[in-house]
């Protein structure tokens, strides 16, 4: 029997299963490894920016149609199966990234396939939130899910550092062991294994999700084929009437900017640390552990604050912290910290970057969790799935801005520090627009006869 508790746990397990793609591949292990593949931190940041940016464009083009199809058909699980397969195959392919014998096009294509699978699977599972969250607890369910996902990313990162990834300074893993499975550090097998490891992790831990989650189809739902045929006219009508829903419209634009900034910060954090501070993969891994710990803690606390004070009250301080943190990161280098010169052997730059990483994790976890619940507050009660489709569109339509602008700024300036300045602009734009969004959204202006969000929805 699938109980309400199992449905919530199953939904949480997607965050646990999918988070290693962000933690291990996008940020702390594979992205910094690009420097070894290309031989330069600036070149790695440029190529990574264009590659991730191009993938974002593909996601943006496909996102609105998939959202329209899912909304009309009421089918999410078949899409999640498909995107899960892409996640696994794309992640596994990164095993081929051997320095000195690498086909960069094939590696970036494999990474793109995995990233597309991860992003779209996330879109469809996020749309299930109103179905699994009990009335009055959507903030806690969302926050706890993010926290659970962060913990999953941290455990996966610890396994990589303790059992698989060597520290170049010692030739051993973090706990002093040789890499398991006889991995050969000379050909970087200890690092390349992150791709297959991420794929296996996802496949194993998605089992509870597929066992305990089911589609909830409306009586008027169309077949997938019929929904596909009508996807474009349906999407066109949705976009035409969107500006009339002022709160939802402004929130989607605000989230479009600050989510892109946050994704850019996560995507380039590891590359920045290895290029500017000269960190090893092991140091970046420890940085990742700290970031995921603070992310899990504050996503959980933020979920509680969300239910008590409202999601906007949680999001605004998180954005202010991120703006200040990115500004701080720009002024941390090997020879100076916040404008004060330091010696070549000083550990002050490392300490400063660790502290800034903790703030990034705390603010990022809170921001992402509360954004899901603020969307529910802005959406019309009978169109929750439609709203999540538009949320996916807004998040992906400009997902290329941060990586591409970082790549361009880095290429023009020849400086990784100058290269990340576009992130500040994205966070500020998101904050300014968010100030005009009402926290109670559609609840305040719901027409007579309509119930506020959740009160008419099916809950466990």
**Rounded Cα gap, residues 450 and 452, in angstroms:** 7
Q: Residue 235 falls within a domain, yes or no?
A: no
Same domain, 118 and 210: yes
Average pLDDT for the chain: 85
Pick the more confident residue, 1 or 149.
Answer: 149
Q: Residue 60 falls within a domain, yes or no?
A: yes
Same domain, 182 and 322: no
pLDDT at 190 over 90: yes
- What confidence score (pLDDT) does residue 119 get? 87
Q: Residue 38 falls within a domain, yes or no?
A: yes
Q: Residue 230 falls within a domain, yes or no?
A: no
Same domain, 186 and 329: no
Same domain, 157 and 26: yes
Total structural domains in the chain? 2
**What pLDDT digit, counting tens, does each position of 286-328 carry?**
888 888 899 999 999 999 999 999 999 999 999 999 999 999 9
Same domain, 200 and 260: no
Number of Cα atoms under 13 Å in the Cβ half of residue 357: 25
The 3 state secondary structure assigned to 121-152 is HHHHHHCCHHHHCCCCCHHHHHHHHHHHHHHH
- What confidence score (pLDDT) does residue 44 get? 75
332: CB partners within 8 A, 6+ apart: 276, 277, 338, 349, 352, 353, 356
Same domain, 72 and 198: yes
**Rounded Cα gap, residues 403 and 249, in angstroms:** 24
**What pLDDT digit, counting tens, does each position of 75-105 carry?**
889 999 999 999 999 999 999 998 887 788 8
CA angle, residues 162, 184, 187, in degrees to nearest 5 = 115
- What confidence score (pLDDT) does residue 66 get? 81
Q: How far is CA 124 from CA 53, 388, 430, in A?
A: 22, 8, 24
Q: Residue 236 falls within a domain, yes or no?
A: no
Q: pTM score, two decimals?
A: 0.79
Same domain, 137 and 197: yes
pLDDT band at 430 (very low <50, low <70, confident <90, very high): very high
**What pLDDT digit, counting tens, does each position of 8-45 carry?**
999 999 999 999 998 899 877 888 888 778 776 677 77
**What pLDDT digit, counting tens, does each position of 228-245 carry?**
888 778 778 878 888 888
Same domain, 196 and 345: no
Name the 3-class secondary structure at 407. Answer: helix
Domain that holds residue 21: 1-215
Same domain, 172 and 29: yes
Q: Residue 228 falls within a domain, yes or no?
A: no
**What pLDDT digit, counting tens, does each position of 330-347 carry?**
898 888 898 889 988 899
pLDDT band at 441 (very low <50, low <70, confident <90, very high): low
- Residue carrying the six token digits 């941390």: 332
Q: Are 334 and 344 in contact (CB under 8 A)?
A: yes
**Rounded Cα gap, residues 39 and 35, in angstroms:** 5
89: CB partners within 8 A, 6+ apart: 110, 113, 114, 117, 199
Residue 341: its H or E element: strand 340-341
- What confidence score (pLDDT) does residue 60 get? 73
pLDDT band at 197 (very low <50, low <70, confident <90, very high): very high
Identify the CATH number of the domain in which residue 392 sits.
Answer: 1.20.1250.20
Q: Residue 232 falls within a domain, yes or no?
A: no
- What confidence score (pLDDT) does residue 449 get? 34
Least-confidence region, from 268-277, 283-292, 395-404? 395-404
Same domain, 197 and 257: no
pLDDT band at 175 (very low <50, low <70, confident <90, very high): very high
CA-based radius of gyration for the chain: 21
Same domain, 157 and 289: no
Same domain, 2 and 124: yes
């Amino acid at each position: 029997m699938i109980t309400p508790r199992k449905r919530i746990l199953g939904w949480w397990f997607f965050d646990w299963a999918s988070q290693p793609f962000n933690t291990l591949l996008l940020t702390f292990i594979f992205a910094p490894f690009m420097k070894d593949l290309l031989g330069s931190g600036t070149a790695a940041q440029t190529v990574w920016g264009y590659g991730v940016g191009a993938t974002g464009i593909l996601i943006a083009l496909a996102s609105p149609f998939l959202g329209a199809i899912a909304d009309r058909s009421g089918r999410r699980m078949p899409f999640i199966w498909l995107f899960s397969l892409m996640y696994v195959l794309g992640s596994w392919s990164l095993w081929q990234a051997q320095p000195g014998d690498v086909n960069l096009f094939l590696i970036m294509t494999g990474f793109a396939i995995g990233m597309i699978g991860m992003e779209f699977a996330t879109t469809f599972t996020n749309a299930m939130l109103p179905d699994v969250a009990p009335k009055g607890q959507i903030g806690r369910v969302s926050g706890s899910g993010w926290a659970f996902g962060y913990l999953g990313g941290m455990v996966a990162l610890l396994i990589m550092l303790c059992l698989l990834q060597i520290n170049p300074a010692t030739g051993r893993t973090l706990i002093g062991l040789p890499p398991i499975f006889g991995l050969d550090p000379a050909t970087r097998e200890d690092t390349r294994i992150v791709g297959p490891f991420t794929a296996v992790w996802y496949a194993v831990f998605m089992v509870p999700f597929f066992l305990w989650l089911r589609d909830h189809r409306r009586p008027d739902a169309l077949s997938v084929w019929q929904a596909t045929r009508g996807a474009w006219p349906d999407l066109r009508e949705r976009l035409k009437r969107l500006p009339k829903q002022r709160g939802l419209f402004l929130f989607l634009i605000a989230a479009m900017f600050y989510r892109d900034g946050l994704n850019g910060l996560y995507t380039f954090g590891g590359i920045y640390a290895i290029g500017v501070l000269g960190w090893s993969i092991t140091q970046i891994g420890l940085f990742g552990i700290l970031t995921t710990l603070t992310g899990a803690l504050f996503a959980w606390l933020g979920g509680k604050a969300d239910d008590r004070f409202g999601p906007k009250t949680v999001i605004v301080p998180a954005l202010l912290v991120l703006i200040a943190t990115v500004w701080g990161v720009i002024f941390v280098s090997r020879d100076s910290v916040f404008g004060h010169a330091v010696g070549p052997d000083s550990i002050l730059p490392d300490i400063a970057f660790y502290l800034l990483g903790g703030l990034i994790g705390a603010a990022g976890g809170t921001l992402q969790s509360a954004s899901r619940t603020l969307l529910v507050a802005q959406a019309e009660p009978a169109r929750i799935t439609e709203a999540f489709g538009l949320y996916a569109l807004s998040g992906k339509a400009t997902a290329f801005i941060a990586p591409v602008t970082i790549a361009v700024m880095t290429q023009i300036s020849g400086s990784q520090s100058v290269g990340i300045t576009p992130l500040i602009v994205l966070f500020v734009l998101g904050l300014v627009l968010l100030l005009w969004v009402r926290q109670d959204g559609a609840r305040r202006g719901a027409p007579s006869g309509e119930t506020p969000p959740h009160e008419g929805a099916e809950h466990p």
